[in-house]
Structure 1
Amino acid sequence: MSTPITASQRYYRRGTTKVLWLPAVANKSAPTRAEINAGTALEGETGAMAGWQTTSATVPTPALGSRFTPTVGGEITAADSSLTLWASKTGVDVRQLLTRETEGFVMWMDEGDVPGQTGDVYPVQVTSQAKVRELDTAAQIMVQFSITSEPAENVEIPAAA
Protein backbone atom coordinates (compact mmCIF):
# COMPACT_ATOMS: atom_id res chain seq x y z
CA MET A 1 0.00 0.00 0.00
CA SER A 2 1.29 3.48 -0.82
CA THR A 3 1.95 6.11 1.82
CA PRO A 4 -0.20 9.24 1.49
CA ILE A 5 1.38 12.66 1.32
CA THR A 6 1.41 14.45 4.67
CA ALA A 7 -1.75 16.49 5.14
CA SER A 8 -1.07 20.20 4.80
CA GLN A 9 -1.84 22.73 7.48
CA ARG A 10 -3.54 25.28 5.25
CA TYR A 11 -3.30 28.98 5.88
CA TYR A 12 -4.56 32.31 4.62
CA ARG A 13 -1.78 34.37 3.03
CA ARG A 14 -2.94 37.83 4.16
CA GLY A 15 -1.55 38.61 7.60
CA THR A 16 0.94 35.74 7.34
CA THR A 17 3.17 36.23 4.30
CA LYS A 18 6.08 38.66 4.59
CA VAL A 19 7.73 40.35 1.59
CA LEU A 20 10.94 42.30 2.06
CA TRP A 21 13.12 44.56 -0.04
CA LEU A 22 16.72 43.64 0.75
CA PRO A 23 19.29 46.11 -0.61
CA ALA A 24 22.14 43.60 -0.30
CA VAL A 25 22.54 39.85 0.14
CA ALA A 26 25.99 38.26 -0.09
CA ASN A 27 24.65 34.72 -0.69
CA LYS A 28 21.08 34.53 -1.96
CA SER A 29 20.91 30.87 -0.92
CA ALA A 30 21.63 31.77 2.70
CA PRO A 31 20.57 35.31 3.63
CA THR A 32 21.75 36.30 7.09
CA ARG A 33 19.56 37.67 9.86
CA ALA A 34 21.50 40.97 9.61
CA GLU A 35 20.67 41.21 5.87
CA ILE A 36 17.00 40.46 6.56
CA ASN A 37 16.87 42.98 9.41
CA ALA A 38 18.43 45.62 7.13
CA GLY A 39 15.57 45.14 4.67
CA THR A 40 12.30 47.02 4.34
CA ALA A 41 9.02 45.20 5.01
CA LEU A 42 6.62 45.80 2.12
CA GLU A 43 3.63 43.64 3.02
CA GLY A 44 1.87 46.40 4.97
CA GLU A 45 1.63 48.55 1.82
CA THR A 46 1.25 45.77 -0.77
CA GLY A 47 -2.21 45.63 -2.32
CA ALA A 48 -1.44 43.12 -5.08
CA MET A 49 1.36 41.08 -6.57
CA ALA A 50 1.93 39.20 -9.80
CA GLY A 51 4.55 36.76 -10.99
CA TRP A 52 7.15 35.68 -8.44
CA GLN A 53 7.38 32.12 -9.69
CA THR A 54 9.73 30.09 -11.81
CA THR A 55 8.80 27.76 -14.62
CA SER A 56 10.75 25.21 -16.58
CA ALA A 57 10.42 24.53 -20.26
CA THR A 58 10.85 21.09 -21.74
CA VAL A 59 12.98 20.06 -24.68
CA PRO A 60 11.90 17.20 -26.96
CA THR A 61 14.41 14.39 -27.36
CA PRO A 62 13.14 12.29 -30.30
CA ALA A 63 14.80 9.07 -31.36
CA LEU A 64 14.39 7.33 -34.69
CA GLY A 65 13.67 4.03 -32.96
CA SER A 66 10.35 5.18 -31.46
CA ARG A 67 7.30 7.17 -32.47
CA PHE A 68 7.10 8.53 -28.91
CA THR A 69 9.01 11.74 -28.23
CA PRO A 70 10.20 11.98 -24.63
CA THR A 71 11.21 15.32 -23.12
CA VAL A 72 13.85 16.55 -20.69
CA GLY A 73 13.87 19.62 -18.53
CA GLY A 74 15.03 22.74 -20.34
CA GLU A 75 15.44 26.42 -19.59
CA ILE A 76 14.25 27.90 -16.30
CA THR A 77 12.57 31.30 -16.46
CA ALA A 78 10.87 33.62 -14.01
CA ALA A 79 7.55 35.24 -14.75
CA ASP A 80 7.32 39.00 -15.19
CA SER A 81 6.89 40.15 -11.62
CA SER A 82 5.41 43.17 -9.87
CA LEU A 83 4.25 44.51 -6.54
CA THR A 84 1.40 46.99 -6.42
CA LEU A 85 1.64 49.24 -3.39
CA TRP A 86 -0.54 52.04 -2.08
CA ALA A 87 0.33 55.57 -3.19
CA SER A 88 0.37 58.39 -0.67
CA LYS A 89 -1.33 61.72 -1.27
CA THR A 90 1.87 63.35 0.03
CA GLY A 91 3.99 61.49 -2.55
CA VAL A 92 6.07 59.91 0.22
CA ASP A 93 5.66 56.21 -0.50
CA VAL A 94 7.36 53.33 -2.30
CA ARG A 95 8.54 55.70 -5.05
CA GLN A 96 11.41 56.87 -2.84
CA LEU A 97 12.56 53.32 -2.05
CA LEU A 98 12.20 51.44 -5.33
CA THR A 99 13.37 53.82 -8.03
CA ARG A 100 13.90 52.72 -11.61
CA GLU A 101 17.08 50.66 -12.14
CA THR A 102 17.59 50.04 -8.42
CA GLU A 103 19.07 46.59 -7.87
CA GLY A 104 18.49 44.41 -4.83
CA PHE A 105 16.53 41.40 -3.67
CA VAL A 106 12.89 40.64 -2.96
CA MET A 107 12.50 38.01 -0.26
CA TRP A 108 9.24 36.14 0.18
CA MET A 109 8.52 34.43 3.50
CA ASP A 110 5.23 32.76 2.70
CA GLU A 111 4.65 31.29 6.15
CA GLY A 112 5.97 34.39 7.92
CA ASP A 113 9.35 35.37 9.35
CA VAL A 114 9.73 32.12 11.26
CA PRO A 115 13.25 30.76 11.81
CA GLY A 116 13.59 27.28 10.32
CA GLN A 117 10.82 27.89 7.78
CA THR A 118 11.75 28.62 4.18
CA GLY A 119 11.56 31.58 1.85
CA ASP A 120 12.52 32.59 -1.67
CA VAL A 121 15.08 35.24 -2.61
CA TYR A 122 14.74 36.94 -6.00
CA PRO A 123 17.65 39.02 -7.36
CA VAL A 124 15.91 41.91 -9.11
CA GLN A 125 16.17 45.26 -10.80
CA VAL A 126 13.31 47.77 -10.69
CA THR A 127 12.17 48.43 -14.25
CA SER A 128 9.31 50.87 -13.65
CA GLN A 129 6.99 52.58 -11.20
CA ALA A 130 3.68 52.66 -13.02
CA LYS A 131 0.95 54.83 -11.52
CA VAL A 132 -2.28 52.84 -11.50
CA ARG A 133 -5.03 55.21 -12.57
CA GLU A 134 -8.52 53.86 -12.11
CA LEU A 135 -11.69 55.75 -11.36
CA ASP A 136 -13.06 53.83 -8.40
CA THR A 137 -10.04 52.63 -6.45
CA ALA A 138 -7.46 54.14 -4.13
CA ALA A 139 -4.25 55.32 -5.81
CA GLN A 140 -1.54 52.72 -6.28
CA ILE A 141 1.98 52.37 -7.66
CA MET A 142 2.83 49.18 -9.57
CA VAL A 143 6.54 48.48 -9.23
CA GLN A 144 7.73 46.16 -11.98
CA PHE A 145 10.87 44.05 -11.66
CA SER A 146 13.18 42.11 -13.91
CA ILE A 147 14.52 38.94 -12.32
CA THR A 148 18.26 39.23 -12.96
CA SER A 149 19.40 35.70 -12.06
CA GLU A 150 17.94 32.43 -10.87
CA PRO A 151 16.04 32.90 -7.60
CA ALA A 152 17.08 30.93 -4.55
CA GLU A 153 14.01 28.95 -3.58
CA ASN A 154 13.23 27.29 -0.27
CA VAL A 155 16.12 28.87 1.63
CA GLU A 156 16.05 28.49 5.39
CA ILE A 157 15.07 31.58 7.36
CA PRO A 158 17.79 32.17 9.95
CA ALA A 159 17.20 32.63 13.67
CA ALA A 160 17.42 36.05 15.29
CA ALA A 161 20.98 36.94 16.22
Structure 2
Amino acid sequence: MGTTQERYSRRGVSRFYFLKAIAAPNNVPTRAELGTTNGTDLSAFISDVEGFALENTAIDTPDMASSFTSNIPGENKADNSSFTFYEDKGSDTLEALLSQGVEGFVVILRKGDIQLTPASRSMEVFPVRVGSRSATYTAANEPAKFKVSFNITSEPAQDLAVPAAS
Protein backbone atom coordinates (compact mmCIF):
# COMPACT_ATOMS: atom_id res chain seq x y z
CA MET A 1 0.00 0.00 0.00
CA GLY A 2 1.37 3.37 -1.02
CA THR A 3 1.34 6.54 1.00
CA THR A 4 -1.45 8.16 -1.01
CA GLN A 5 -5.10 7.27 -0.95
CA GLU A 6 -7.96 8.44 -3.18
CA ARG A 7 -10.73 9.20 -0.69
CA TYR A 8 -14.31 9.65 -1.78
CA SER A 9 -17.86 10.12 -0.55
CA ARG A 10 -20.28 7.22 -1.05
CA ARG A 11 -23.01 9.68 -2.00
CA GLY A 12 -23.04 9.94 -5.78
CA VAL A 13 -20.66 6.98 -6.14
CA SER A 14 -22.05 3.83 -4.48
CA ARG A 15 -24.82 2.02 -6.37
CA PHE A 16 -27.68 0.02 -4.84
CA TYR A 17 -29.64 -2.59 -6.81
CA PHE A 18 -32.53 -4.92 -6.03
CA LEU A 19 -32.50 -8.15 -8.03
CA LYS A 20 -35.46 -10.52 -8.05
CA ALA A 21 -33.18 -13.48 -8.77
CA ILE A 22 -29.56 -14.41 -9.49
CA ALA A 23 -28.95 -17.42 -11.71
CA ALA A 24 -25.57 -18.48 -10.29
CA PRO A 25 -25.76 -20.77 -7.24
CA ASN A 26 -23.05 -18.70 -5.51
CA ASN A 27 -25.28 -15.58 -5.75
CA VAL A 28 -22.84 -13.59 -7.89
CA PRO A 29 -24.80 -11.53 -10.43
CA THR A 30 -23.74 -11.02 -14.02
CA ARG A 31 -23.60 -7.66 -15.77
CA ALA A 32 -26.79 -8.58 -17.64
CA GLU A 33 -28.61 -9.36 -14.38
CA LEU A 34 -27.75 -5.93 -12.98
CA GLY A 35 -29.15 -4.15 -16.01
CA THR A 36 -32.22 -6.12 -17.10
CA THR A 37 -35.80 -6.20 -15.90
CA ASN A 38 -34.49 -8.58 -13.22
CA GLY A 39 -32.45 -5.77 -11.65
CA THR A 40 -33.60 -2.35 -10.46
CA ASP A 41 -31.14 0.45 -9.67
CA LEU A 42 -32.53 2.02 -6.48
CA SER A 43 -29.73 4.56 -6.00
CA ALA A 44 -31.59 7.69 -7.15
CA PHE A 45 -34.57 7.00 -4.87
CA ILE A 46 -32.73 6.30 -1.60
CA SER A 47 -32.72 8.93 1.12
CA ASP A 48 -30.98 6.85 3.80
CA VAL A 49 -29.30 3.46 4.27
CA GLU A 50 -29.05 1.52 7.52
CA GLY A 51 -27.26 -1.75 8.17
CA PHE A 52 -26.12 -4.02 5.34
CA ALA A 53 -23.09 -4.95 7.43
CA LEU A 54 -21.91 -8.07 9.23
CA GLU A 55 -21.07 -8.20 12.92
CA ASN A 56 -19.22 -10.95 14.72
CA THR A 57 -20.41 -11.82 18.20
CA ALA A 58 -17.30 -12.63 20.21
CA ILE A 59 -17.29 -15.50 22.69
CA ASP A 60 -15.56 -14.74 26.00
CA THR A 61 -12.90 -17.28 27.04
CA PRO A 62 -11.86 -16.44 30.61
CA ASP A 63 -9.44 -18.68 32.45
CA MET A 64 -8.10 -18.89 35.99
CA ALA A 65 -4.54 -17.94 34.98
CA SER A 66 -5.41 -14.30 34.28
CA SER A 67 -7.79 -11.54 35.32
CA PHE A 68 -8.03 -10.59 31.63
CA THR A 69 -10.93 -12.10 29.69
CA SER A 70 -9.84 -13.02 26.20
CA ASN A 71 -12.28 -13.92 23.44
CA ILE A 72 -12.58 -15.86 20.22
CA PRO A 73 -14.70 -15.22 17.11
CA GLY A 74 -18.28 -16.42 17.44
CA GLU A 75 -21.27 -16.30 15.14
CA ASN A 76 -21.67 -13.77 12.33
CA LYS A 77 -24.90 -11.83 12.17
CA ALA A 78 -26.22 -9.17 9.83
CA ASP A 79 -27.26 -5.82 11.27
CA ASN A 80 -30.87 -4.70 10.96
CA SER A 81 -30.98 -3.34 7.43
CA SER A 82 -33.24 -0.85 5.67
CA PHE A 83 -33.57 1.74 2.95
CA THR A 84 -35.56 4.93 3.33
CA PHE A 85 -36.97 6.05 -0.02
CA TYR A 86 -38.48 9.24 -1.32
CA GLU A 87 -42.14 8.62 -2.01
CA ASP A 88 -43.39 9.20 -5.57
CA LYS A 89 -46.79 10.91 -5.62
CA GLY A 90 -47.54 9.68 -9.14
CA SER A 91 -46.29 6.09 -9.03
CA ASP A 92 -46.18 3.11 -6.70
CA THR A 93 -43.53 1.18 -8.66
CA LEU A 94 -41.09 0.94 -5.74
CA GLU A 95 -43.82 0.01 -3.27
CA ALA A 96 -44.95 -2.82 -5.59
CA LEU A 97 -41.37 -4.03 -6.11
CA LEU A 98 -40.59 -4.04 -2.39
CA SER A 99 -43.84 -5.20 -0.82
CA GLN A 100 -43.81 -7.19 2.41
CA GLY A 101 -42.59 -10.77 1.96
CA VAL A 102 -40.84 -10.21 -1.37
CA GLU A 103 -37.53 -12.08 -1.63
CA GLY A 104 -34.53 -11.11 -3.71
CA PHE A 105 -31.04 -9.67 -3.42
CA VAL A 106 -29.69 -6.27 -2.46
CA VAL A 107 -26.52 -5.73 -4.48
CA ILE A 108 -24.22 -2.92 -3.40
CA LEU A 109 -21.39 -1.59 -5.54
CA ARG A 110 -19.46 0.22 -2.80
CA LYS A 111 -17.05 2.06 -5.12
CA GLY A 112 -19.63 2.59 -7.83
CA ASP A 113 -20.05 0.87 -11.14
CA ILE A 114 -16.36 1.01 -11.85
CA GLN A 115 -15.32 0.59 -15.46
CA LEU A 116 -11.89 2.21 -15.06
CA THR A 117 -10.75 -0.49 -12.65
CA PRO A 118 -11.91 -3.78 -14.16
CA ALA A 119 -13.00 -6.41 -11.66
CA SER A 120 -12.90 -4.07 -8.65
CA ARG A 121 -13.60 -6.28 -5.63
CA SER A 122 -16.15 -3.90 -4.15
CA MET A 123 -19.50 -5.66 -4.72
CA GLU A 124 -21.61 -7.10 -1.91
CA VAL A 125 -24.70 -9.29 -2.29
CA PHE A 126 -27.26 -9.65 0.50
CA PRO A 127 -30.01 -12.29 0.12
CA VAL A 128 -33.08 -10.56 1.58
CA ARG A 129 -36.78 -10.74 2.35
CA VAL A 130 -38.79 -7.56 2.84
CA GLY A 131 -39.85 -7.63 6.48
CA SER A 132 -41.89 -4.45 6.44
CA ARG A 133 -42.63 -1.38 4.39
CA SER A 134 -44.23 1.67 5.94
CA ALA A 135 -44.69 5.34 5.26
CA THR A 136 -42.91 7.81 7.50
CA TYR A 137 -44.85 10.83 8.72
CA THR A 138 -43.61 14.19 9.88
CA ALA A 139 -44.84 17.76 10.11
CA ALA A 140 -41.32 18.94 9.27
CA ASN A 141 -40.57 20.69 6.01
CA GLU A 142 -39.20 17.65 4.16
CA PRO A 143 -40.25 15.32 1.34
CA ALA A 144 -42.55 12.35 1.88
CA LYS A 145 -40.66 9.10 2.49
CA PHE A 146 -41.22 5.44 3.23
CA LYS A 147 -38.97 2.86 4.89
CA VAL A 148 -38.34 -0.72 3.76
CA SER A 149 -36.83 -3.06 6.36
CA PHE A 150 -35.05 -6.18 5.15
CA ASN A 151 -34.33 -9.52 6.81
CA ILE A 152 -30.98 -10.94 5.68
CA THR A 153 -31.94 -14.55 4.89
CA SER A 154 -28.52 -16.15 4.39
CA GLU A 155 -24.86 -15.27 4.49
CA PRO A 156 -23.99 -12.25 2.34
CA ALA A 157 -21.19 -12.43 -0.22
CA GLN A 158 -18.61 -9.69 0.20
CA ASP A 159 -15.63 -8.36 -1.77
CA LEU A 160 -16.89 -9.75 -5.07
CA ALA A 161 -15.57 -8.53 -8.41
CA VAL A 162 -17.84 -5.97 -10.08
CA PRO A 163 -18.89 -7.61 -13.36
CA ALA A 164 -17.28 -6.08 -16.42
CA ALA A 165 -19.37 -4.27 -19.02
CA SER A 166 -20.02 -6.33 -22.12
TM-score for the superposition, normalised by structure 1? 0.89
Q: Which region of structure 1 is more displaced relative to structure 2, 26-35 or 72-81?
A: 26-35
SS for the counterpart of 1:96 is: helix
How far 1:112 sits from its partner (Å)?
0.7
**Do residues 48 (structure 1) and 48 (structure 2) align?**
yes
Hey, what's the Cα distance between the residues in 2 that align with 1:157 and 1:113? 7
Q: Counterpart amino acid of 1:120?
A: E
How far 1:79 sits from its partner (Å)?
0.9
SS for the counterpart of 1:44 is: helix
Q: Work out whether residues 100 and 128 of structure 1, in 8 Å CA contact, stay in contact via their aligned partners in 2.
A: yes
How far 1:5 sits from its partner (Å)?
6.6
User: Residue 18 of structure 1 corresponds to which residue in structure 2?
Assistant: 15
Query: CA 1:111–1:77 in 2, change beyond 3 Å: closer, same or farther?
Result: same
Q: How many residue pairs are counted as aligned between the two chains? A: 158
Q: Work out whether residues 109 and 120 of structure 1, in 8 Å CA contact, stay in contact via their aligned partners in 2.
A: yes
User: Residue 157 of structure 1 corresponds to which residue in structure 2?
Assistant: 162
Hey, what's the Cα distance between the residues in 2 that align with 1:147 and 1:9? 31
Q: Counterpart amino acid of 2:148?
A: V
Q: Work out whether residues 129 and 152 of structure 2, in 8 Å CA contact, stay in contact via their aligned partners in 1.
A: yes
User: Residue 60 of structure 1 corresponds to which residue in structure 2?
Assistant: 60
Hey, what's the Cα distance between the residues in 2 that align with 1:28 and 1:121? 10
SS for the counterpart of 2:151 is: strand
Q: Work out whether residues 28 and 125 of structure 2, in 8 Å CA contact, stay in contact via their aligned partners in 1.
A: no
SS for the counterpart of 1:123 is: strand
Q: Counterpart amino acid of 1:116?
A: A
Deviations 1:20-52 (A, max 9, x none): 001112345532222222310000111111111
> Gaps spanning 5+ residues in structure 2: where?
none
**Do residues 126 (structure 1) and 123 (structure 2) align?**
no
**Do residues 113 (structure 1) and 107 (structure 2) align?**
no
Match of 1:142 among 127, 136, 147: 147
Query: CA 1:21–1:6 in 2, change beyond 3 Å: closer, same or farther?
Result: farther
How far 1:69 sits from its partner (Å)?
2.4
Identity between Structure 1 and Structure 2 (%): 35
Hey, what's the Cα distance between the residues in 1 that align with 2:66 and 2:83? 47
TM-score for the superposition, normalised by structure 2? 0.87
